Amino acid sequence: MRRAPAATRARTTSSGASKRTTCLRTAWIEGRWRAPRRRPHNARGHGDRMHANDYQRRKDAWLELSELEPAARAQRLDAIAREDAALAAALHAQFAAAGQPVALLDRASAVAGAPALPQYRVLRELGRGGMGRVWLAERRIGDAVQQVALKQILHGAWNAEDRRRFERERRILAGLAHPNIAALVDGGSDADGVPWLATAYVDGERLDRHVERAQPDLATRVRLLSKVAAAVDHAHRHLVVHRDLKPANILVDRAGEPKLLDFGIARLLGEEAITTTGSSQMTLRYAAPERVRGEGDATAVAGDVYALGVLLYELLAGASPYGDTRDQSALIAAILHDQPPAPSTRATIAGVDADLDAIVLKSLRKRAQDRYAGADAFAADLERWLAREPVEARRGERGYRARAWLRRRWAWPVAAALLLGALAYHLHALDRELDRAEAERDRAQALAGYFGELFKGARPADTERGDISARELLERSVAELHRDAHRPAATRASMLMAAGDALGYIGQSAKARDAYALAVELLRSASADPETLARALSELASHRYLAADRVAARRDVDEALALVDAGHVGDPHLPITLLQQAAMMDEEGGEIERARAGYERAIELARPLLHTREGVESYLAAQINIATWDMRENATLPQAEQRLREAIATAAREAFDDPYSLFPMRTYFARVLYDQYKLAEARAVLDPVVTEARAWYGKDDTWFGLILSHAATLAMLERRGADAIALFDEAMATQVAHDEEHPNRWAMRSDRAIASIQREEWPDAIARLEAVLAWRARSGRADGDNARFERAALAWARCRAAPDPDRRAALDEALVTSESFRGWKRWLAREWRGACGGVTAPPGR
């Protein structure tokens, strides 16, 4: 039976960065373009947007007022009333709902109005805001007591929209688990239906006050922000943008560990953006220019990166990048137009150097696309600074890497001649790096233009009617690139690789193979970057393997591995891809020990990279490759099951969620279960896979068809004959991308014939099996376990259709080697022993 793909192959993006995905022996899956999946736009009215703004403004105004003395508070409320009477009235109502007149708020009782909740004992109030109060409480479960911060909205102070936001904060916290984020402990609603949540209590002080009191050294300050950035990145990876990063929302505990708090205005990526018009200076102080203008996507991670830059600036310089103005209009103008001075010019602590200046100023750039791509990149540069390594913020600065190396690594006793020689060498290497960066930039610009030009040749009438497809546009572009003699060869090769990726993603492997073959030819002729050539060879080998051109595929892989061995490949993931491709071919060629050694070597190389997505993909691929080999022998099926369980556990532990890898991996797990006749457990695994894969791949996808074929086999073994036939027919309908002689088609036809046997449709089964065996004879596949099983199945069907001594003898002869049949086929063959004229019995266990 044709096995479902266990994962996708290595892919190369238009930028040249390798996106490593797993590959298995049975197929190097034709990749798919991973277009961003956006939720449909929820068309909201203007009123909804104003609700969001009102919430932001009320919260900011409350926080500002609560820090003022009573007289100053009343004066500020009068000023707000002159600008926005509705906002002032709402603030008065919220102060009243807190149980105190505005002027007497600071004399509130410590526990007045505390919530009464089962298992909780309120100790004292920790703080309050315009929307709620926070209490220190004890949570008792049995004999265990835990201190928590208990947060509840004010009774009667919030509208339905505010209540929804509070409940969303609880859901957001439930999805986050990071050592530098205050963890959600519990949540619910009280007897009056008012929601509350409890987080782990952080016994500490806000970030700015901690720094002012403890006066930590420079490295400690940078390390604090690096940990905060890691927490923000964790939220981003869970599709949550904080949107309110400031010292009050970061507590430093007694151990010196920062904890990120208050996700009350956090937003999920892709939700409707909220403008910042009207925000108070407290929020503006950390607001990115695009949020101040109300432009772009207010949920984009770039806003959080900007806020991290402001926080770092304040830790280094002891002041805001835009001075200490309290005038809101002046602050807005500064954020939008002023270039902050380097923090080193204002530093209150020694050691703030040009590298830290570059990190801060990169994160504070006015245009979001000019900042760090994410909080992870910001944190990575801080870690580089801490390790005294060159920082990415200064990449491209002529001579920087050489100077950084000399400043941080060079030993004073080294002779002057050696110093000059090393400097010359590193400057030469830098020049080569700059030349390469310039070439990459040119190729990137050409690629950007290429994808824009794809549609120029299409008539508007065709695109409006849907008469032209992505496949046609891509094929047309490959033909044009073949004829194009004006662009440099390396640039044309990059475009062809991008087109090959896209063609592979939409299932056009043959066309993708042609594009990659031409790209390899151009790269060789141009003496291009060896790493790019190695990557292109890997892709070409992948498509040649799919086309059963094993000799050429192996030649491509060997050439790429030679480039790796020569030290020309810096990407640590590409060698793992190539090792697995070579191992697959070794295995197919019967060199089993060499193949297994290749997979084990891939695991060894991937294990240190588990902190990266590509590393997890590579690790899982190698583990599953070995497991699928163990699945070939009945005696090692338990080992395969254990290895697959471990692979699935690793994916869960690393929060790895790539469907292109997980769907096939779970499908293989179901296969190893039903091969051991653990049918109920297999179905529990496979049914959700089919449902999810149908939505992900689409009903006509080739690889979804392979998953369906596994579901059909399981249904057949469970004697759900009608379900099995329907699933097999649906699976075979997905294989139209393969030619008539492709093994996938015939493997499914073989299994479909067994489904007819299970339904005792003997003539249909006989006709199907005879056709399959005829194909095996003409394609040189007449030997092997699958062919022997099919001959036994044909003998069984003939004997059942018209029992006689000769047919019983033929069946006995066909079943002589049945104990060597693999997996479920062995169990089924056991039913066929004995007289073929009676009713079949359930297989033995």
pLDDT tens digits along 377-392: 999 999 999 988 888 8
> Cα(197)–Cα(171) distance, rounded to whole angstroms?
10
701 is catalytic: no
Q: Residue 738: pLDDT above 70?
A: no
Q: Tell if the pTM clears 0.85, that is, is over it.
A: no
Nearest-angstrom CA–CA distance, 53 and 47: 10
Better pLDDT: 844 or 286: 286
The mean pLDDT of 428-438, rounded to a whole number, is 45
The pLDDT score that the predictor gives to residue 653 is 86
What pLDDT digit, counting tens, does each position of 31-70 carry? 222 222 323 333 333 333 334 445 556 766 766 676 556 6
Residue 92 has pLDDT above 80, yes or no: no
Integer CA distances (angstroms), 540 to 4, 29, 182, 622, 673, in order: 22, 13, 48, 20, 34
Coil, helix or strand at residue 250 = strand
pLDDT at 235: 85
pLDDT at residue 481, rounded to an integer: 65
Residue 266: pLDDT band with limits 50, 70, 90: low
Least confident range of 195-204, 340-349, 478-487, 604-613: 478-487
Q: For residue 831, give both structure tokens.
A: 């039913």
Q: How high is the mean pLDDT of the chain?
A: 75
* Whole-angstrom distance, CA of residue 261 vs CA of residue 250: 6
Q: Please, are residues 725 and 707 in contact by the beta-carbon 8 Å criterion?
A: no
| Those residues with Cβ within 8 angstroms of residue 271's Cβ, 6 or more apart along the chain or in another chain | 299
CA separation for the pair 754, 727 (Å, rounded) = 13
Contact 539, 548 (CB under 8 A): no
Per-residue confidence at 480, pLDDT binned at 50, 70, 90?
Answer: low
Residues 230-260 have pLDDT tens digits of 999 988 887 788 888 999 889 999 989 999 9
Residues 6+ apart with CB under 8 A from 280: 57, 60, 61, 63, 64, 328
> CA 248 to CA 228: how far, in whole Å?
13
The most distant pair of C-alpha atoms in the chain lies apart, rounded to whole Å, by 109
CB 305 within 8 A of CB 235: no
pLDDT of residue 179 exceeding 50: yes
> What's the pLDDT at 614?
83
Orientation of helix 489-505 relative to helix 416-453, angle to 10°: 60
Q: Name the β-bridge partners of 303.
A: none
Q: Which H or E run includes 22?
A: none
| Cα of 29 vs its chain's centroid, Å | 19
Question: Which one-letter amino acid corresponds to residue 404?
Answer: A
Range list of H helices, 260-353: 281-284, 289-293, 301-317, 328-337
Tokens linked to 12: 């190369």
**Segment among 409-418, 511-520, 539-548 with least mean pLDDT:** 409-418
> How many H helices and E strands in the chain?
33, 12
206's enclosing H/E stretch is strand 204-206
Instruction: State the Cα angle at 661 between 451 and 712, rounded to 5°.
Output: 115
Angle of the 702-717 helix axis to the 824-831 helix axis, nearest 10: 40
Model pLDDT, residue 71: 65
| 3-state SS, residue 175 | coil
- Residue 506, C-beta contacts closer than 8 angstroms, at least 6 positions apart: 32, 33, 470, 471, 474
Integer Rg of the chain from CA: 33
Cβ-based burial of 142 (10 A; exposed 0-12, middle 13-18, buried ≥19): exposed
Helix, strand, or coil (residue 748):
helix
Contact 377, 392 (CB under 8 A): yes
Distance of CA 643 to the CA centre of its chain: 23
Any residues with CB less than 8 A from the CB of 60 and at least 6 apart, and which?
279, 280, 282, 283
CB 120 within 8 A of CB 135: no
- Per-residue pLDDT tens digits for 787-813: 999 999 999 999 999 988 899 999 999
In this prediction, residue 89 has a pLDDT band, given cuts at 50, 70 and 90, of confident
Torsion angle, alpha carbons of 127, 129, 132, 134, to 10: -10
Neighbours of 387 (CB within 10 A): 8
CB-count burial class (<10 Å; 0-12, 13-18, 19+) for 739:
exposed
- Which residue in the list 244, 297, 514, 529 is annotated as catalytic? 244
CB 628 within 8 A of CB 587: no
For tokens 């479909």, name the residue.
Answer: 752
Q: What does each C-alpha distance from 750 to 281, 484, 708 come to in angstroms?
A: 72, 47, 15
Pairwise CA distance, residues 460 & 456, whole Å: 9
From the list 2, 8, 3, the residue with the least C-alpha distance to 659 is 8
Angle at 652 between CA 649 and CA 657, to 5 degrees: 135
CA dist 26 and 5 (Å) reads: 7
Mean pLDDT of 320-329: 79
598 vs 626: CA distance, rounded Å: 10
Tokens 């049914």 belong to 687
| Of 576, 563, 486, 578, nearest in space to 532 by CA | 563
Q: Which of 835, 828, 792, 786 is nearest to 811 (CA)?
A: 792
